[in-house]
């Protein structure tokens, strides 16, 4: 029962470098999300997907891109990392239904120097 798996768990980047965060879920969920968590800010939605091949912007999408080529995977990319993107990133998934809770991965701690 893996649930939602995020890789990597930790990463340090230099300003201007690029990277991709991978999220994989084995629950056959339709919806997937990327959030970032910063101290005192709660969780803020970056991008989300309501199905394979679809993506949409959330509250704080600038500087990030996403892709959902397969239903079980949701990738978050940083093309040119900035120190402001230092954060903890959470991937989540859920099934259809307004009552369905989000199932979260364990997070990726990213530091941009």
Partner 1 sequence: AQKITQTQPGMFVQEKEAVTLDCTYDTSDPSYGLFWYKQPSSGEMIFLIYQGSYDQQNATEGRYSLNFQKARKSANLVISASQLGDSAMYFCAMREGRGYSTLTFGKGTMLLVSP
- Assess 89 for contact with partner 1 (CB under 8 A): no
- In the complex, least distance from residue 70 CB atom to partner 1, rounded to whole angstroms: 19
Could you write out the three-class secondary structure of 68-80? CCCCCEEEEEECC
CA distance 26 to 23: 10
- Assess 10 for contact with partner 1 (CB under 8 A): no
Q: Say which residues have a Cβ less than 8 Å from residue 5's Cβ, sequence separation at least 6.
A: 23, 24, 25, 26, 105
Q: Which two structure tokens, joined as six digits, stand for 39?
A: 């101290």
- Assess 58 for contact with partner 1 (CB under 8 A): yes
Binding partner 1 by CB under 8 A: which of 43, 63, 67, 72? 43
> In the complex, which residues of this chain contact partner 1 (CB under 8 A)?
31, 33, 35, 40-45, 48, 50, 58, 88, 90, 92, 96, 98-99, 101-104, 106-107
């Amino acid at each position: 029962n893996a649930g939602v798996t995020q890789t990597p768990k930790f990463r340090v980047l230099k300003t201007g470098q690029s990277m991709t965060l991978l999220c994989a879920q084995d629950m056959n969920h339709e919806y997937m999300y990327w959030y970032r968590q910063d101290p005192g800010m709660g969780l803020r939605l970056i991008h989300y997907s309501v199905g394979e091949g679809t993506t949409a912007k959330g509250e704080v999408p600038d500087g990030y891109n996403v892709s959902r080529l397969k239903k079980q995977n949701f990738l978050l990319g940083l093309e040119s990392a900035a120190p402001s993107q230092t954060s903890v990133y959470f991937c989540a998934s859920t099934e259809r239904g307004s009552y369905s809770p989000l199932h979260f991965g364990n997070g990726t701690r990213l530091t941009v120097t």
